């Protein structure tokens, strides 16, 4: 079994621009990737999905011939979305963008560090 390297420059990150039922699992989310985004689930791409209320997030990764699905649910607040326009049903992100979302940082605010 290989260790999962989720947050690195070796991956491309795509935030699905629609809203998803969190009942979807590996096959349902893979179907959205293929049918709505026109992409193949492969070892270089990580796909991020949010529910309607922006309180649940799922991250789908295919690595070493196996799917990994990460699921996070907020008890308070909502995930913030990047200020970007969707292209072909998804918003490209960086590993830093995804980490910021998961840690509850506001992607719209940029603070200067002095």
* Residue-wise pLDDT tens digits, 10-29: 889 999 999 999 999 999 99
pTM, to two decimals: 0.84
Beta pairing class for 66-73 and 56-63: antiparallel
DSSP code string of the chain? -PPP--SSTTSEEEEESS---TT--HHHHHHHHHHTS-----TTEEEEEE-TTS-EEEEEEEETTEEEEEEEE-SSS-PPPPS---BTTEEEE-HHHHHHHHTT--TT--PPP-
Domain boundaries in the chain? 12-102
* Residue-wise pLDDT tens digits, 60-109: 998 878 899 999 999 999 998 877 778 888 999 999 889 888 887 665 54
- Of 27, 54, 51, the closest CA to residue 41 belongs to 27
């Amino acid at each position: 079994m290989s260790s999962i390297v989720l947050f690195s420059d070796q991956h491309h990150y795509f935030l699905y621009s629609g809203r998803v039922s969190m009942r979807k699992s590996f096959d349902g989310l893979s179907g959205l990737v293929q049918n709505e985004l026109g992409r193949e689930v492969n070892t270089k791409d990580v796909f991020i999905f949010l529910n309607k209320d922006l309180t649940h997030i799922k991250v789908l990764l295919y690595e070493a011939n196996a799917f990994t699905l990460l699921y996070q649910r907020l008890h308070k607040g909502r995930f913030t979305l990047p200020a970007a326009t969707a292209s072909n049903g998804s918003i490209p992100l960086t590993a830093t963008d995804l980490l910021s979302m998961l840690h509850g940082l506001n992607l719209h605010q940029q603070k200067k560090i002095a």
